[in-house]
Amino acid sequence: MCRCTHETSDLKLVMLFDRRNQTYCVCSHNLEADDASQEVAELRRDGLPAFTVDQHSRHMQVDPDECPACRADVDHAIGSLPPVKCKTGSTRFRY
């Protein structure tokens, strides 16, 4: 289970989005802004559709793709757009 701190955070998570399947997965979390930007740049150079999302707090879950707090931060970032599927099978939102 993911436990998160309740303090304000400047941390980022990195996600990939598959427009064809309307799915996403979280690659990394708990990254400083510079590290997240570098990871996104590397993924995009490889042709992958990578994006950063602001985290509300440090996530305690080890695996970012299984972290409920990551999914909550992505859901919050993309707001009330039409639903898409998370790679793990949960319904998520399109952006």
Residue 22 lies in a domain: yes
Return the minimum-mean-pLDDT range out of 58-62, 68-72, 81-85.
81-85
8-state DSSP, 62: S
Cα radius of gyration (the chain): 13
Q: Is residue 60 part of a domain?
A: yes
Residue 38 falls within a domain, yes or no? yes
Q: What is the pLDDT of residues 10-69, one digit of tens each?
A: 999 999 988 888 888 999 999 999 999 999 999 999 999 999 999 999 999 999 989 999
H or E stretch covering 49 = none
SS3 state of residue 33: helix
Question: How many CB atoms neighbour CB 70 within 10 A?
Answer: 28
Question: Quick check: is 71 in a domain?
Answer: yes
What gap in Å lies between CA 17 and CA 94, rounded to an integer?
A: 9
- The residues, ordered by sequence, that sit 6+ positions from 84 with a Cβ below 8 Å of its Cβ are 22, 23, 24, 91, 92, 93, 94
**Structural domain count, the chain:** 1
pLDDT score for 2: 43
Higher pLDDT, 4 or 77: 77
Kindly report the backbone phi and psi dihedral angles of residue 4, in degrees, each rounded to the nearest multiple of 5, phi listed first: -125, 150
- Would 49 be classed as within a structural domain? yes
| Within-domain flag for 1 | no
